Structure 1
Amino acid sequence: MTLPDLGAQVWAQLQPADRQWLTRLCALAHPAPRVALVGGAVRDALLGQTPLDLDIVVDGAPVRALAEATGWPLTFHPAFQNATLTLPDGRTADLVQARRESYPVPGANPHPLPGTLEDDLRRRDFGLNALGLLIRPEAPPALLDEVGGLEDLQSRHLRPLHELSLHEDASRLVRGARLAGRLTLHASPALLAQVPQALAMAPRTPRLWAELKLLLQEPRPGRAARCLSDWGAPGLLPGLALLEALDAQQEDGTPVPWMVYAAAALAAAEEPVALAARLGLGDRPGALLERALSDRPFAPASPERQLRQLLRPEAYAPLTGRDVVALGVPPGRGVGEALAHLLALRQAGQVRSAQEEREALQTYLASRPHP
C-alpha cells in the first residue's frame, strides 16, 4: 500500500465519533497549525485494531486555547503544555504541544523544548510508535513516517530511535516488553545492545517501576515478563514461571485478575514488602498472598484459591461449616468447635486431604459424649 492508502486505512479504523471530533479539532486550529494523531493509536489502527486511547500533537497553535475551544472538560499540564480532554463517552484524549526533549540527567524526567511535529515524532521511544496521521480539513488524512516506523511495524520489530534511548530512559525497556508481549513483537539488535545500559540505569529511573506495575496489568503479563527474561533482564520482575502459569490458566478460559499476578510476583520476591513499595502496589496484593497461604477455606473460583493452587498445588479445600453440618453436627456452637478441631489438626500436619478431615471429624464426634 502507498502512504495515502495507509493513511485512509488508519482513518477508517477510528470510531466514527472520533473521526468527527478530530475533524472539528482540526477545523478549530485552521488555517496555519497542524494537528496529527500519533503513537499507539496509529500503530494499532495499522494492525487492524480500533484505537481507543488517542494522543494528538498540535504544531503551531497553543494547546490550552485549542482544548478550551472544544468546550469539553480538560486538565492542563503547564510543565509540558499538554491538555487532557474528557470525551463525551468518558474516555480521555491527550493534546500534546509539539516539542523536542533533552535529558539533562538520565533517568529523570526529560526537559521539554519547543519543536515541530517532525521533532515530536523523532523524540519517541520506538520506531513503530513514531508514526503519525496528519489530519487536514480540506484533504484526506496523510500518514507520516519520519523514522522508518512503518517498516518496523511490518517486520514486527521494536527498534529504539537512537543509541542512548534506554540509557536516558530505562523504563522504555519495560514498555517495549509490554508491547512485545501484547502484540507479538521482536526485539531488534539495537534494542538488545542497549539492555545493559537500561539495567545500569534502572535504580535511577523511577518510571521503570511504574511500567512494571503496568506490565502486571497487561492481558498476558507472563508473555511480557518472558520478553524481559529473553532480552537479558530477568531480574527486573521475579516469578516468571508463576506469571506464565497464570497466563496458561487464562488461555484455558479461566479469568485471572491482575491482583493475582501481583501477589504471585511478591511470592517469588526475596523482599516482597520492598518490591510492593517500589511498584506502588499498596497492601492488597500482600494481603491476598497471606490469605492464599493460610488454611482458610475459599470458594473454588476465588483469587485466593487461584493463587493457592499455584503456590501450594498439594493444598486442598478444607471442610466448611456446611460440610460439618452435613456430617451430623447440629448448627450452633458445636460446628465452631468441630472446625477449630480440624484447624488444629491441619496446622499440626495430621490431616492432608478433605477425606482425612472427614475421617478425623467422625473420630472426633464419636469420642464426644452424647447429650
Structure 2
Amino acid sequence: MNVSAEPLSRRAWGQLQPADRDWLVRLARGAGPGARVALVGGAVRDALLGGAPLDLDVVVEGTDAGALAAATGLPFLVHPAFGNATVTLPDGRHADLVRARRESYPVPGANPVPAPGSLTDDLRRRDFGLNALALVVGPDGEVTLLDEVGGLEDLRARTLRPLHPRSFHEDASRLVRGARLAGRLDLGAHPELRRQVPDALEMAGRTPRLHAELRLLLGERRPGRAARVLEEWGAGSLLPGGAVERLEALDGRQDAGESVPEQAYAAALLSVAPDPPALAARLGLGEKPGALLARALSDAPASPGSPEAILRALLRPDAYPPLTGRDVVALGVPPGPAVGAALAHLATLRRGGQVRSREEERAALEAYLRNSPPPPQ
C-alpha cells in the first residue's frame, strides 16, 4: 500500500532532523535514474510514533550502495559480503546504506544468506510489521510512505506481529528484539507472536545472535521492563532465575532519579547467574561487570550514588559503611601497622556475621583494644 498524501508521510518526514532530511535528498539525487532511496525500519516507526529518530537505515534499489556512499564525500566503510556501506555523518552518527535484498535461512538459527532483491523484498524479509515501513525519498524532496505488509495497522494498534509463520524458528533472536521494543515503546504482542514463542525457546541454544540481543537488552533505558515482557510472554527462561526482579529494582532506582549505568545492570544479571563468568562470556560483557559485582559484594567503601553503592543496596540491603582507617585512629588505634591489624580484625568479624553495624564495630574495636598488648615503646 502506497500512502503519498498528508499527513503520514510528511509527518514522519517532519520528525527528522533538518540535516538528515537534506542528506537523504542528496542521496536520492545521487542515486541516478530508476533508482530508489528509502529510509526504513525503526527510524520510520519512531517518526510515525512522534519521536525524533537518530539512527538512519537506508535501503537503496537500482544502484550500488558503496558507490553511493563514496559519492557523499563523507567518511564511509564498505561491507563487501552484503554490498552495504556505513557512512559517518558530520555529527559523528553512523548511517547504514543497505542494498535491497532477499534473505533465506538454509539452517535455522544460523546467519541468513542474502541475495539481491527489490525494496519490496527487503521490507518483506524484516522481523515485525511495524519495522517494515519505508519512506521513499525523491530527488525533489517528495516522500512516499510505503507499507507492503500492513505495518501501519500494527503501528496504530501498537502491536508486534511477526511477518512469517516460521520467523522465530529461523531466528530466535527476534523474540528478544521484540521484548526490547515492547518494553521501550509500550507495545503489545500479536497472537501470532505468542504462538511462536515455543519455537524461539526451542531454537535459542542454536541461535548465537540471541546472546547479542540479550546484551542489547541491558542497554535499554529500562532493561527491567524488557525482561518482564520476556517473562510475561513465557520466555523468562532465557534469563537466569531472579534476573527480572533485580533488573526491575534497578529500573526503580532510575525512576527515582538515580543514574544507573549499563554496567550495573550487567553486574546485577551476573549476580543471579549459576556461573557468572560463563554468562559474561556468552553475552560478551567483558570483565568490568564481574569486577563491579565483586566490589559491590565486598566491604570496600563505596561513594554514595556510585554503581557499587547502588548494587550493594540491592544485593546486600543490610550492608553498612564499615569503619575506615581514619575512624579507628580517631577511636584510639595508633597510626602505623596497628591500624591495618585493627581493620583486618573488624573484617574478620564482619565476614563471620559477628558485627552488623558501625556501632557494633566500635564496640568490637574497643574490646579489641582492651585485650591487645600495648605497642612497644
Alignment TM class, shorter chain as reference: over 0.9
Distance 2:284 2:5 in 1: 42
**1:59/1:17 CA distance change after superposition, 3 Å:** same
Equivalent runs, 1:49-60 vs 2, <5 Å:
49-60=51-62
Between Structure 1 and Structure 2, how many residues are aligned?
A: 371
Letter in 1 for 2:159: H
Q: Helix, strand or coil for the counterpart of 1:4?
A: coil
Task: Decide which of 3, 18, 21 is 2:20's aligned counterpart.
Answer: 18
Task: Decide which of 292, 295, 313 is 1:291's aligned counterpart.
Answer: 295
Equivalent runs, 1:70-85 vs 2, <5 Å:
70-85=72-87
Task: Decide which of 271, 289, 294 is 1:267's aligned counterpart.
Answer: 271
Distance 1:20 1:321 in 2: 61
Letter in 2 for 1:38: V
Query: Residue 297 of structure 1 contacts residue 319 of structure 1 at CA under 8 Å; is this kept in 2?
Result: no
Distance 2:140 2:253 in 1: 51
Q: Please say if 1:358 is aligned against 2:353.
A: no
The aligned residue for residue 113 of structure 1 is 115
List gaps (5 residues or longer) in structure 2.
none
Query: Residue 4 of structure 2 contacts residue 143 of structure 2 at CA under 8 Å; is this kept in 1?
Result: no
List gaps (5 residues or longer) in structure 1.
none
Query: Residue 328 of structure 2 contacts residue 342 of structure 2 at CA under 8 Å; is this kept in 1?
Result: yes
Q: Where does structure 1 differ by over 4 angstroms across 4 or more consecutive aligned residues?
A: none
Aligned-residue sequence identity (percent) comes to: 68
Letter in 1 for 2:229: C
The aligned residue for residue 318 of structure 2 is 314
Q: Please say if 1:346 is aligned against 2:335.
A: no
Query: Residue 4 of structure 1 contacts residue 142 of structure 1 at CA under 8 Å; is this kept in 2?
Result: no
Query: Residue 134 of structure 2 contacts residue 145 of structure 2 at CA under 8 Å; is this kept in 1?
Result: yes
Moved more, 164-173 or 338-347: 338-347
Displacement of 1:255 in angstroms is 1.1
Displacement of 1:317 in angstroms is 1.4
Query: Residue 182 of structure 1 contacts residue 219 of structure 1 at CA under 8 Å; is this kept in 2?
Result: yes
Distance 1:335 1:187 in 2: 60
The aligned residue for residue 158 of structure 2 is 156
Task: Decide which of 216, 221, 224 is 1:222's aligned counterpart.
Answer: 224
Deviations 1:96-145 (A, max 9, x none): 00011111111111111111111111111000100110101235211111
Q: Helix, strand or coil for the counterpart of 2:305?
A: coil
RMSD (Å), alpha carbons:
1.6
Task: Decide which of 277, 282, 285 is 2:286's aligned counterpart.
Answer: 282
Moved more, 35-44 or 254-263: 254-263
Displacement of 1:347 in angstroms is 2.0
Deviations 1:346-371 (A, max 9, x none): 12222111110112222333444376
The aligned residue for residue 180 of structure 1 is 182
Letter in 1 for 2:330: A
Task: Give TM-score, length-normalised by structure 1.
Answer: 0.96
Distance 1:139 1:253 in 2: 42
Distance 2:140 2:75 in 1: 28
Displacement of 1:333 in angstroms is 3.2
The aligned residue for residue 41 of structure 2 is 39
Letter in 1 for 2:315: L
Task: Give TM-score, length-normalised by structure 2.
Answer: 0.95
Letter in 2 for 1:205: T
